[in-house]
Amino acid sequence: NVVPNNGHFDTTRANIEYVGAVATDLPSIEARELHSEKLFKGNMDLGKLEQLIEAEGSANIPFCMLTVTNNTGGGQPVSMENVRSVKEILQKHNIPLIIDACRFAENAFFIAAREQGFADRTLLEIAQEMFSFADGATMSAKKDGLANIGGFLACNNDSWADDFRNLLILTEGFPTYGGLAGRDLEAISVGLLEALEYDYQRYRHATVEYVASALISRDVPIVRPAGGHAIFIDAAAFCPHLRPSDYPGIGLVNALYLEGGVRAVELGSVMFGKPAPEGGEEIAAPHELVRLAFPRRVYTQSHFDYLIEVLDAIGRKRESIEAYRITEQAPFLRHFTAHYERAG
């Protein structure tokens, strides 16, 4: 089986590959241009989707996913037009559409701000229209559920729901709570609505834009325009002296922690690289990124000013960032538990 997506994130990809399927990314052409100001770089490439269906056959594609926003590609949004067009293509072939919805409210805000015809719609109305095209959704409630833990599966297929419930009882808990405490279920029920409040989203996006503008003025290369939940630094451009096999993202992540105690995460060849088919040097990821995700309702402007100062200091001595190599790794999701050492 093949599962297309505008951009699988790490855990989604790992779960698909664990059961023997192939996770195929079909990002838009604009997504390849990290520093361009295109407004909906999270879109799926519609032409590539049609080509994949023709090549693989609809019977070999159990479902298609859309990740909103596209975390792998820099937190970039997906337009309503793209969601609608993907659904129209899939409907012709009886392929279900599943939305990876963990940042659905941020995506709704981008649609309101950037897509013609949505400026006067509420974020709730936009989210409802977006989900109307889906046959199901996966949700990590730690993002736009504003909760500490939890998530859910949603679908409009009774047969699927029965299968989900049966597996849930075996693995997590009874369907009424799914292994979660009551307080967390209550937090999710409130958080899903609070995430759709326009003022909350506007403040959050303004904070991201503030940091992005400051970093751009200091010649820190980032994915542009800034995403909704994070700043993504182009580690390959930040560390031009390092090759993908040197893991520049790991070097920059370590430099951030050593310089200022700032924790970030690599989204490059450690997270998304693949072993070469016949040994040798592994296949590098399309981009070498470092994500600075913005925890919700945690930091003030002084925290972000400190972050800017730390990155400015690292930028002035970026040539000292060292190469790393992996000394220990797991077969799946290696970036969670891998061990490294300096390569020099």
Model confidence over 137-187: pLDDT tens digits?
A: 999 999 999 999 999 999 999 999 999 999 999 999 999 999 999 999 999
Q: What's the mean pLDDT when you consider all of the chain?
A: 95
Homologous superfamily of the 198-342 domain (CATH): Aspartate Aminotransferase, domain 1 (3.90.1150.10)
Distance CA 226, CA 207 (A): 10
Find the mean pLDDT for residues 51-58.
98
CATH top-level class for 2-194? alpha beta
- The answer to whether the beta carbons of residues 228 and 109 sit under 8 Å apart is yes
Coil, helix or strand at residue 338: coil
Give me the residue spans of the domains in the chain: 2-194, 198-342
Model confidence over 84-128: pLDDT tens digits?
A: 999 999 999 999 999 999 999 999 999 999 999 999 999 999 999
Query: For the chain, what percent of residues have pLDDT higher than 90?
Result: 90
pLDDT score recorded for residue 299: 93
List, as one string, the DSSP characters of 306-321.
HHHHHHHHHHTTGGGP
Model confidence over 59-72: pLDDT tens digits?
A: 999 999 999 999 88
β-pairing verdict for 64-67 and 151-155: unpaired
Model confidence over 261-275: pLDDT tens digits?
A: 999 999 999 998 887
